A and B are shown apart, each in its own frame.
Chain A
Amino acid sequence: MAIGVKVMKRPGAEVSYLRATLKGMALTLSHLWRPKVTMQYPEEKSSKDWTLSPRWRGTHRMLTDEQGRAKCVACGLCPQICPANCIKLVPGEDEQGNRYPLIYEIDEFRCVFCGYCQEVCPEEAIHVGVHYENSEYSRDRFVYDLERLCAQTHPVSTLWDPSDPKGE
């Protein structure tokens, strides 16, 4: 059976070439002076039309307490929930019985930036960050250790809240 090809009925006499051409040229000419939308990236990182969302999930940041120690208590929930298996945590315990991470490393190359680590963290210690400029000169620099995670200063993601889906 033949396929039914839809044949468009073209307007004949009403077709305009020259007028349409001139109209188009007037339009392009008027665009020469219109405000430009280009954001000049390294100098300008946000504009009124575009800002990074506060829910953006970028590279991680570990929050610290008043003494500058990581808030992490090495409970082990984040490596447990991490779907990409990118968090390496070796727990330790001090004389008072406080748990702390001996080793806490995140492989940002494995990470899928789902933000589960932040959601699951009981101490609000590990966060995904509102940050996107991550270039490095070597691949092993992308395994962030505890010191580096604590040293990050970028804002942390607010994540998506089911009770407030539009972030109001």
Chain B
Amino acid sequence: MTLFLISSVAKILVVFTVIMVGVALLTLAERRICAWMQDRLGPNRVGPQGLLQPAADGLKNFLKEETLPARADKVLFMLAPAISFVPALLTFAVIPFAAPLPTPWGDVDMVVANLPVGFLYILAFGSLGVYGIVLAGWSSNNKYSLLGGLRATAQMISYEIALGMSTVAVLLLGGNVTLTDVIAKQSESLFTWNVFPLSLAFFIFIVAAFAETNRLPFDLPEAEGELIAGYHTEYSAMKFSMFYIAEYSNIVTASALMTTLFFGGWDIPFTTWDNAPPWTPLKTVLTLGAFTLKTSFFLFLFIWVRWTLPRFRYDQLMALGWKVMLPLALGYVTIIATAIWLLHDQLGWTYDTRFALALFGLNLLLAVPLFFVLDRGHLIAGSVAEEGGRA
């Protein structure tokens, strides 16, 4: 009990600190990588290679004036940044980030809270994040903010469904909603990583994750060109900064989730040495490294996509969400459930590399026509109705 309390408090402190520092560095990484992609250098003045730039930004935000619109709903206006900021951080609590650490008093799970319902917890808190944005848009008493907030609601609710549906496939394969078990199930070999047996689920998940985190090409709630930054138009100083931190924490969490659900979590590929007891501190450190690497890759992907793709138009966004992603996710769950039933219950296979490869083959078969159709663009309307009235 004492070990649990002490280790929990220690983990909370460490994880919180690491995420806050990570978010700070991520803002810098975003600015530098975007600069590099545009053949610029980016902020490199404050500290070596600009490493202290986030600190300078933070200081600036602390010193700036807090504005409060005259007709704003004061309570909600103050509360909204916190409401968007807290769920973003809370979600990370159930993500296992390394192999258990042995201590003289027993093994410590490297997850802040090893909830048996970790998965549902993530879905629950993921949808709470939208409240912060909606309330911010509503309480600012500003048309643009309100529009941004409305867009955020519609967008996040639409893609939440596709996100949830795509993870159902993971649950079917994992047979459990505890994230540690989901990871354990994937760790057998490289091909048992869920990204192989469930490639299309990963595709749906990543698209939905971009929409959930309000990143380009789905950053409709902000849309600086049309909504003047949308829901946070009226915010300044630290309150604005909170939205910023929330956005980046969401990205960190989404990346960690992708790692956990589809890329084997903290599993080191090509070896099973790291997955089984006896646990050693070396294993913990190495698996933590593997987790960090994978997560960093997805963080980079978020930045990379943002500085490549243009924004969707709103009706295209909705059409993609409801007419493509949702039916796709539903159909996919059906197909995967059938396949698993066939392989597991009828043929009696247990989950191993062979099982995963069979499902991977199925995914490839499905992916070819899907990507062909998606690529031809019949599913997303162009900017002008085609002649003959078909939208």
Contacts and interface: CB of A to CB of B under 8 A. Distances in A.
B187 to A, nearest CB: 30
A25 B380 CA distance: 20
Contact of A31 (B38, B375, B378): B38
Interface string B349-391: 0000000000000000000000100111110101110110000
Interface stretch (B9-17, B220-228, B304-312): B304-312
A7 to B, nearest CB: 6
A31 B37 contact: yes
Contact of A37 (B39, B375, B380): B39
A35 B38 CA distance: 10
A22 to B, nearest CB: 10
B314 interface: no
Contacts of B305: 25
Interface stretch (A9-17, A104-112, A130-138): A9-17
B36 A18 contact: no
Contact of A32 (B33, B375, B377, B387): B33
Contacts of B39: 31, 34-38
A8 B384 contact: yes
Interface string B21-39: 0000000000001011111
Given A15-B377, A17-B375, A21-B308, A28 B37 contact: yes
Nearest to B38: A31
Contacts of B37: 28-29, 31-32
A28 B376 CA distance: 23
Interface in A96-110: none
A79 B135 CA distance: 64
Nearest to B382: A10
A4 B76 CA distance: 48
B386 A28 contact: no
Contacts of B307: 28
A contacts with B: majority SS = loop
A16 B308 CA distance: 15
A66 B39 CA distance: 49
Nearest to B376: A13
B40 interface: yes
A48 B33 CA distance: 25
B41 interface: yes
Contacts of A13: 376, 378
Given A10-B384, A15-B382, A21-B309, A31 B376 contact: no
A15 B382 CA distance: 9
Interface residues of A, number: 25
Contacts of B378: 12-13
Interface in A1-60: 7-10, 12-13, 15-19, 21, 24-25, 27-29, 31-32, 34-38, 40
A12 B380 CA distance: 10
Nearest to A32: B36
A27 B308 CA distance: 8
B308 A18 contact: no
Contacts of B382: 10, 12, 15
Contacts of B374: 17-18
Nearest to A12: B386
Nearest to A40: B41
A24 B308 CA distance: 6
Nearest to A29: B304
B42 to A, nearest CB: 8
Contacts of A9: 387
A10 B378 CA distance: 12
B309 A36 contact: no
* Residue among B36, B309, B377 facing the most chain A CB atoms (10 A cut-off): B377
A38 B384 contact: no
Contacts of A37: 39-40
Contacts of A29: 37, 304
A35 B40 CA distance: 9
Contacts of A35: 39
Nearest to A20: B375
Contacts of B380: 17
B46 to A, nearest CB: 14
A37 B41 CA distance: 8
Contacts of A32: 33, 36-37
Given A36-B36, A40-B41, A18 B304 contact: no
Contact of B384 (A7, A19, A31): A7
Contacts of B35: 38
Given A13-B378, A28-B307, 19 more contacts: A7-B384, A8-B384, A10-B384, A15-B382, A16-B375, A16-B377, A18-B375, A25-B304, A28-B37, A28-B304, A28-B308, A32-B36, A32-B37, A34-B39, A35-B39, A36-B40, A36-B41, A37-B39, A38-B35
11 contacts: A10-B382, A10-B383, A10-B384, A12-B382, A16-B377, A17-B380, A19-B375, A24-B309, A28-B304, A29-B304, A36-B41
In order of increasing CB-CB distance, the 7 nearest A-B pairs are A15-B377, A38-B41, A18-B375, A10-B382, A28-B37, A28-B308, A24-B308
Interface of B: 33, 35-41, 304-305, 307-309, 371, 374-378, 380, 382-384, 386-387
